[in-house]
Amino acid sequence: MKKTLSSTALALIIGLSFANSAFATTSIRAEVKGMVCAFCAKGISKKLNSLDAAKQVFVDLKNRVVLVEIKDQQKISLDEFNKIIQDAGYDVAKAEYVDKSLADIKSEMHLDDEAKK
């Protein structure tokens, strides 16, 4: 009985792990040059929030980072993202997909800031 229960628990854990990875949240994390004021951040946020595929947008003016969480089953290409930022008058130093939610990335950024103090 114990072996069956352990096997069932293990199968459940493995199944949940695969389910979570199959539905992993994808975000874009970018370092943006040229943002110097709240008006800059607001403009970028407004443009990115207008995308149908954007679930959430966060602009960290202090660290010059822009984050966009993408809705499930949707896509935003890095080319499209870069074009929006460039059309707004800023340069993208680096942009990448990250398999994390916006909240998770913000939390990591906060921890990094705390470690630097």
Does the pLDDT value for residue 41 go beyond 50? yes
Which of 36, 12, 53 is closest to 89 using CA atoms? Answer: 36
Q: What confidence score (pLDDT) does residue 9 get?
A: 44
Digit-coded pLDDT (tens) for 52-102 = 999 999 999 999 999 999 999 999 999 999 999 999 999 999 999 999 999
Q: When comparing pLDDT for 90 and 116, which is higher?
A: 90
Segments making up each domain of the chain, as ranges: 25-116
The whole-chain average pLDDT of the chain stands at 83
Per-residue tokens: 62: 């202090």
Tell me the three state secondary structure of residue 114: helix
Does the pLDDT value for residue 36 go beyond 80? yes
User: Mean pLDDT over residues 38-42, rounded?
Assistant: 91
Class of domain 25-116: alpha beta
Q: Give dist(CA 80, CA 30) in Å, integer.
A: 13
The set of residues, in sequence order, having a beta carbon less than 8 Å from that of 93 and lying 6+ positions away, is 30, 31, 32, 33
Does the pLDDT value for residue 117 go beyond 80? no
Q: What confidence score (pLDDT) does residue 10 get?
A: 42
